[in-house]
C-alpha cells in the first residue's frame, strides 16, 4: 500500500503542497514550481525561507543542529526566544499534514494541483542537502 505524501497547507496563499518522505518543504516547493522566498538557495544561511507553523506540530521532523543554530540566531536578532513555531523551509521535513504561514509564496507556471496528481512521484524524491533555488523566483 502506498501512503500519500504529506500535505503542507501554505497560507495565506491557500496552496496545498505535497511533500514526499524525506523531502524538505523548500525542495517540494521548487519541485512544484512555487515561488518561495530565499537568498541563499537552500543553504540554511539567509533565513528568508523561514515559516510559521500553525497546525500539525506533531508531524514536523525535528530540527537538525544547523537549523537549530540558525533559528537561535534569528530569534536573537529579533530579540526573542526561539519558538517551536518558527522553522526553515529548506530544512523542514514532515511526516503528515501541516499548516504553515509564509508570505511571499505563490504558484508559478504549473498548477500545484498537477503536482498533487503526481503525488506518488513525491515519495521517491531524493532530497539534496541544499535545495538549490534562486532568490524568490
Ligand atoms: S535559510 Fe536560505 S533558503 Fe532556507
Q: Which three cell numbers stand for residue 47?
A: 533565513
Residue 86 CA: distances (Å) to CA of 68, 81, 102, 123: 10, 11, 10, 25
In the reported structure, the alpha carbon of residue 1 is separated from the centroid of ligand 1 by a whole-number distance in angstroms of: 34
Per residue in 64-111, pLDDT (tens digit) is 999 999 999 999 998 888 788 999 999 999 999 999 999 999 998 655
Name which residue sits closest to atom 3 of ligand 1, judged by CA: 42
Whole-number pLDDT of residue 78: 87
The SS3 of residue 99 is strand
Q: Which of the listed residues 28, 29, 36, 38 should we mutate to test ligand 1's pocket, taking the one with most ligand atoms within 8 A of CB?
A: 38
Global pTM reads: 0.79
Residue with cell 518543504: 25
Domains of the chain are: 6-108 (3.10.20.30)
CA terminus-to-terminus distance, the chain? 36
Amino acid at each position: 500500500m502506498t501512503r500519500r505524501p504529506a500535505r503542507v497547507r501554505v497560507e495565506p496563499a491557500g496552496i496545498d503542497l505535497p511533500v514526499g518522505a524525506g523531502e524538505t518543504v523548500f525542495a517540494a516547493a521548487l519541485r512544484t514550481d512555487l515561488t518561495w522566498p530565499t537568498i541563499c538557495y537552500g543553504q540554511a544561511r539567509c533565513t528568508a525561507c523561514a515559516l510559521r507553523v500553525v497546525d500539525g506540530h506533531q508531524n514536523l521532523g525535528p530540527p537538525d543542529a544547523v537549523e537549530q543554530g540558525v533559528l537561535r540566531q534569528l530569534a536573537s536578532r529579533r530579540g526573542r526566544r526561539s519558538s517551536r513555531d518558527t522553522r526553515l523551509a529548506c530544512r523542514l521535513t514532515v511526516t503528515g499534514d501541516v499548516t504553515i504561514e509564509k508570505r511571499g509564496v505563490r504558484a508559478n507556471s504549473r498548477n500545484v494541483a498537477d503536482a498533487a496528481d503526481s503525488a506518488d512521484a513525491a515519495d521517491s524524491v531524493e532530497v539534496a542537502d541544499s535545495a538549490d533555488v534562486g532568490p524568490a523566483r
